[in-house]
């Protein structure tokens, strides 16, 4: 048995893979989901159900639209300032890692980014806490979970300006209060479904104020008016997201999966702290419940541990090159049994290499 700790595209439930493969062969009257019109009543049903699942699972209040777009979270890095930042104005950004940096990089095409705080000097191993957000900022942007560094920002920062959040790697993993946000975006391939789909949740009233002409495909309003079907949507990715969100619903929804995710994270961090060979890489209070980063006290043991993990069926444990060491991504679909198997592996390795 393989255990998939990959950071993304990531593990999805086995039953979702089975249902998805069945729909490739025969979705309706012998037709594959891949050859059906997105304007067919069947697919319109899929779109409506997926939208409702996102709304129900996250308790999205009225006044918000749920969009299914393409271009990944990376496209949102530009779409956000293009739609929300008036010419020459400033938006506040919290710099907590590579993804935040990439978001900041796109702002200059439309206005200015004001980096209100950064943990760059510490290789992003914590979340900055003491900072103020100027009230004349067009919006405040942050990354809720830093996939590469394994830090997570759990409490929405207090501010009067609109809040925009890149939730790519922790959306649907824990309960959030959507009403505290003005725009949430997430590449689907971590907790929602396959790659090729981006989910956006936007408060309608913040749109249309940039004073800028926006190309249709990059205009949130156009996608809202088109019901995410201004052009051909990523039909299959949306279908698989629907299956996965139905799986989440059947497990009791986000509140239930949050309990499981916390139990998985706690067990793994406890072992990292206990085991004499391993140590965590970031501030304890900011530890992510989705991406668990750790290194070895003796770097010479990293290669042997990586080999040992590979031989025993563990996938995707290699840390991102900017942190090194290991990263166990423990997204919703990763069963707690896989976490326990990893803990056993770490203990076995410790037995062999104890000095």
Ligand X SMILES: *Cc1c(COP(=O)(O)O)cnc(C)c1O
DSSP strand pairing (278-280 vs 198-203) = unpaired
Residue 83 contacts ligand X per CB under 6 A: no
Sequence-distant (6+) residues with CB within 8 A of 289 are 152, 170, 173, 174, 261, 262, 264, 265, 330
Which stretch in 69-77, 252-260, 301-309, 332-340 sits in contact with ligand X by CB under 6 A?
69-77
Q: How far is CA 167 from the centre of its chain?
A: 5
Residue 329 contacts ligand X per CB under 6 A: no
Task: Provide the CB-side half-sphere exposure for 323 (13 A, CA).
Answer: 30
- Tell me the site size for ligand X, rule CB under 6 A: 12
Of 187, 194, 316, 325, the one binding ligand X (CB under 6 A) is 187
SS3 (DSSP) at 84:
helix
- Is 247 marked active-site? no
Residue 168 contacts ligand X per CB under 6 A: yes
DSSP state of 121: G
CB atoms within 10 A of CB 241: 27
Residue 11 contacts ligand X per CB under 6 A: no
The least CB distance from residue 303 to ligand X, in Å, is: 26
**Active-site choice (26, 55, 89, 99):** 99
Place of tokens 């497990």: 251
Residue 165 contacts ligand X per CB under 6 A: no
| CB closer to ligand X out of 195 and 343 | 195
**Active-site choice (166, 182, 219, 286):** 166
Is the Cβ–Cβ distance between 42 and 354 less than 8 Å?
no
Q: How far apart are CA 255 and CA 234, in angstroms?
A: 28
Q: CA torsion sign, 329 to 330 to 334 to 339? A: positive
Of 8, 157, 162, 194, the one binding ligand X (CB under 6 A) is 8
- Is 29 marked active-site? no
Q: How far is CA 350 from the centre of its chain?
A: 32
Of 74, 123, 159, 312, the one binding ligand X (CB under 6 A) is 74
Q: How far apart are CA 195 and CA 82, in angstroms?
A: 24
Per-residue binding string, ligand X, 23-42, x by CB under 6 A, is --------------------
Residue 61 burial (C-beta neighbours within 10 Å; 0-12, 13-18, 19+): exposed
Which stretch in 71-79, 112-120, 236-244, 252-260 sits in contact with ligand X by CB under 6 A?
71-79
Token digits for 30?
A: 């012998």
Which stretch in 36-44, 66-74, 212-220, 274-282 sits in contact with ligand X by CB under 6 A?
66-74
Instruction: Write out the binding residues for ligand X, residues 88-147 only, by CB under 6 A.
Output: 99, 143, 147
Place of tokens 């729909």: 23
Helix (H) and strand (E) counts for the chain?
9, 14
| CB closer to ligand X out of 6 and 72 | 72
Which stretch in 166-174, 214-222, 255-263, 310-318 sits in contact with ligand X by CB under 6 A?
166-174
- Is 310 marked active-site? no
Residue 169 contacts ligand X per CB under 6 A: yes
Q: Which residues bind ligand X (CB under 6 A)?
A: 8, 72-74, 99, 143, 147, 166, 168-169, 187, 190
Residues classed as catalytic: 99, 166, 190
């Amino acid at each position: 048995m393989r255990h998939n700790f990959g950071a993304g595209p990531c593990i999805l439930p086995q039953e979702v893979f089975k249902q998805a493969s069945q729909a490739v062969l025969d979705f309706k009257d012998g037709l594959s989901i891949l050859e059906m019109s997105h304007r067919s009543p069947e697919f319109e049903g899929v779109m409506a159900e997926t939208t409702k699942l996102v709304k129900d699972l996250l308790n999205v209040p009225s006044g918000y639209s749920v969009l299914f777009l393409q271009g990944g979270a990376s496209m949102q890095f530009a779409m956000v300032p293009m739609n929300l930042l008036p010419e020459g104005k400033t938006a506040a950004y919290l710099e907590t890692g590579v993804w935040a940096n990439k978001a900041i990089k796109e702002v200059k095409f439309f206005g200015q980014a004001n980096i209100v705080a950064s943990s760059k000097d510490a290789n992003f191993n914590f979340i900055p806490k003491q900072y103020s957000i100027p009230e004349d900022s067009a919006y405040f942007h942050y990354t809720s979970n830093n996939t590469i560094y394994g830090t997570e920002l759990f409490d929405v920062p207090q501010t009067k300006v609109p809040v925009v959040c890149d939730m790519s790697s922790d959306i649907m993993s824990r309960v959030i209060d959507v009403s505290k946000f003005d725009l949430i975006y997430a590449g689907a391939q971590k907790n929602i479904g396959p790659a090729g789909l981006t989910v956006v949740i936007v408060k309608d009233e913040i749109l249309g104020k940039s004073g800028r002409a926006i190309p249709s495909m990059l205009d949130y309003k156009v996608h809202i008016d088109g019901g995410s079907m201004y052009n051909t949507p990523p039909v299959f990715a949306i279908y698989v997201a629907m299956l996965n969100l139905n799986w989440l619903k059947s497990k009791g929804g986000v509140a239930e999966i949050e309990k499981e995710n916390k139990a998985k994270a706690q067990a793994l961090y406890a072992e990292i702290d206990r085991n004499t060979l391993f140590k965590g890489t970031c501030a304890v209070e900011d530890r992510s419940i989705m991406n668990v980063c750790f290194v070895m006290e003796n770097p010479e043991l990293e290669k042997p541990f990586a080999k040992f993990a590979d031989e025993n069926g563990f996938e995707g444990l290699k840390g991102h090159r900017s942190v090194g060491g290991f990263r166990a991504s423990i997204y919703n679909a990763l069963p707690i049994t896989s976490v326990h198997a990893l803990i056993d592996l770490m203990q076995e390795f410790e037995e062999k290499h104890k000095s």
